[in-house]
Amino acid sequence: SQQGEEDPQALSIQEGENATMNCSYKTSINNLQWYRQNSGRGLVHLILIRSNEREKHSGRLRVTLDTSKKSSSLLITASRAADTASYFCATDDSGNTPLVFGKGTRLSVIA
């Protein structure tokens, strides 16, 4: 079963614009992570935010977490064509439980 659900399913923007994608989940979490997947390849870890954190930055990435709404958002600023990929949120409810992924958002950045 999938815990997280990303929104939108697909997003198309122009190079230089910001891209925002959202993730909603159902149960309490230990932490939430975002991963990126280029077409048909393995996933790459982008950023982790713990349940007691509200915002985190890494380069052009900004992640927010609202545990009261059970939701997270990933913002990519000044997008580039190379950011074209699928983005997944993943959660676990404790350190010992498996990481559960959502269905992902397909981002297309047009040069």
Q: Are 97 and 28 in contact (CB under 8 A)?
A: no
Q: By CB under 8 A, how many residues form the interface with another protein?
A: 25
Among residues 33, 71, 79, 84, which is the contact residue for another protein, using CB under 8 A? 33
Residue 98, preceding bond cis, omega within 30 degrees?
A: no
The stretch among 14-22, 43-51, 55-63, 67-75 that binds another protein (CB under 8 A) is 43-51
Among residues 41, 59, 69, 111, which is the contact residue for another protein, using CB under 8 A? 41
Closest CA to 49 of 77, 26, 30: 30
Using CB under 8 A as the binding rule, the residues of this chain from 55 to 94 that contact another protein are: 88, 92
Site for another protein contains 101 (CB under 8 A): yes
Where do we find the tokens 């600023």?
77
What is the C-alpha to C-alpha distance for residues 31 and 50, in angstroms, rounded to an integer? 4
The stretch among 13-21, 54-62, 72-80, 99-107 that binds another protein (CB under 8 A) is 99-107
Among residues 21, 32, 100, 107, which is the contact residue for another protein, using CB under 8 A? 100
Phi, psi of 82 (to 5 degrees): -70, -10
Rg (the chain; Cα; Å): 13
Binding site for another protein (CB under 8 A): 1-2, 4, 31, 33, 35, 40-45, 48, 88, 92, 95-104
